[in-house]
């Protein structure tokens, strides 16, 4: 028989440790977020529907985004054992300069609507973390202001080519003068995708304050206070616009964009050029042959053509075909450091992180962006150790198997 006795306080003391209360709601929110999915839930709680859906949503039925995320979830890792992984090196050279991690913040517009810190938070956090930040043509902070907050950090500029070529080049010149070293030329936006959440929410610039919008924002006083007490929202690189984002794209962006335009941009831009929005092996080959420095396998985060190819599925074949000629990057669907490791193992030189950064921004401004980058880094390092890879160069296709749910009917 087991003998029993009443517990004594001095016996319980070593077994119990009470967590010190955290008075800051934002700090509690961020510290309790253990994944990017947690940050998404936190962002949804504190951000009104319209700006949250702008960052979170995709086009039409949002199948492109769902399939891209599913592709990463369907990865099967194959660890190698008995390797010394006491120290793990996540750094690598991207377009001729060392980056602390093989990922960068992707270009996303309208971020000051999602949180008043906007692009300033992303640029400052990226600089402190040692990765590049990409400013969107549709950004809500000026080219020069982003340069000021990023200091010595690396910055890239994402270019939509407009029908008015002179205005496009004026932006390019400002970016050059402000120390941006790379242009990401986006080529998958001949017209705007049907982002139905934005249509239903009346997403305009400035925001359309319908009764529904106001009622949805009332329980989120901090967001409301920030909106009313900071500078009015506008696209920092454009004239003021009173319509929807989709209407702006259709009005200003040029559906006649062709290969000759890449040559024209190259002739005027002294830095690196990366083409973003490549979705087939045929286009990857042809664009690589133009002499650009890199391509991004991307379906625009699922925000343009729904049912588009999954970029991660294209990665191994494209790397085999053109990886010696240009750097091959990938985006869309990245929600963890393990996703980044899988992409690097299959040959991606760099990964663009969009929503994962935006969820952190909405959840906590600059501190939230720091938290999202910290989570991605921690997950990367842990995954690499468990795979037996002490550096990115140790990763290879033997570590990853892509399990496909969508198999073409021959």
Which sequence positions are flagged as catalytic?
300
In a 10 Å sphere around its CB, with 0-12 CB exposed, 13-18 middle and 19+ buried, how is residue 150 labelled?
buried
Strand partners, 400: 77
Would you put residue 19 in left (φ > 0), alpha (ψ -120 to 50) or beta? beta
CA–CA gap between residue 300 and residue 28 (Å, rounded)? 33
CA–CA gap between residue 317 and residue 372 (Å, rounded)? 30
CB atoms within 10 A of CB 289: 12
Task: Report how far apart the first and last C-alpha atoms of the chain are (Å, whole number).
Answer: 70
CA–CA gap between residue 242 and residue 268 (Å, rounded)? 32
CA–CA gap between residue 130 and residue 150 (Å, rounded)? 10
């Amino acid at each position: 028989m087991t003998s029993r006795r009443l517990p004594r306080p001095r016996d319980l003391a070593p077994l119990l440790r009470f967590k010190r209360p955290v008075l800051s709601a934002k700090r509690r929110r961020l510290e309790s977020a253990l994944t990017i999915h947690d940050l998404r839930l936190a962002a949804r709680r504190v951000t009104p529907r319209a700006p949250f859906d702008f960052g979170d949503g995709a086009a039409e039925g949002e199948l492109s985004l769902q399939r891209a995320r599913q592709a990463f979830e369907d990865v099967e890792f194959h660890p190698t054992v008995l390797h010394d992984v006491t120290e793990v090196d996540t750094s690598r050279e991207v377009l001729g300069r060392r980056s602390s991690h093989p990922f960068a913040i992707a270009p996303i517009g309208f971020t000051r609507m999602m949180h008043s810190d906007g692009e300033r938070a992303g640029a400052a956090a990226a600089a402190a973390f040692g990765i590049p930040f990409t400013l969107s043509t549709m950004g809500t902070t000026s080219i020069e202001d982003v340069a000021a907050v990023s200091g010595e950090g690396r910055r890239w500029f994402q270019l939509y080519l407009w029908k008015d070529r002179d205005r496009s080049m004026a932006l390019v010149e400002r970016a050059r003068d402000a120390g941006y070293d790379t242009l990401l030329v986006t080529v998958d936006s001949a017209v705007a995708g049907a982002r139905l959440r934005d249509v239903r929410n009346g997403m305009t610039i400035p925001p359309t304050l319908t009764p529904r919008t106001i009622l949805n924002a009332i329980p989120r006083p901090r967001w409301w206070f920030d909106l009313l007490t900071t500078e009015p929202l506008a696209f920092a690189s454009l004239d003021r616009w009173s319509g929807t984002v989709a209407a702006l794209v259709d009005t200003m962006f040029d559906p006649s964009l062709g290969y000759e335009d890449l040559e024209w941009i190259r002739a005027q831009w002294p830095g690196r050029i990366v083409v973003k929005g490549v979705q087939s092996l045929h286009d990857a080959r042809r664009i690589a042959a133009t002499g650009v420095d890199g391509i991004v396998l991307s379906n625009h985060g699922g925000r343009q053509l729904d049912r588009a190819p999954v970029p991660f599925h294209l990665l191994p074949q494209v790397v085999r075909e053109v990886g010696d000629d240009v750097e091959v990057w990938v985006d869309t669907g990245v929600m963890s450091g393990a996703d980044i490791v899988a992409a690097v193992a299959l040959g991606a030189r760099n990964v663009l992180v969009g929503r994962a950064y935006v969820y952190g921004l909405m959840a906590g401004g600059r501190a939230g962006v720091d938290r999202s980058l910290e989570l991605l880094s921690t997950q990367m390092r842990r995954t690499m150790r468990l795979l037996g890879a002490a550096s990115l160069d140790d990763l290879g296709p033997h570590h990853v198997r892509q399990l496909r749910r969508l198999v073409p009917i021959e």
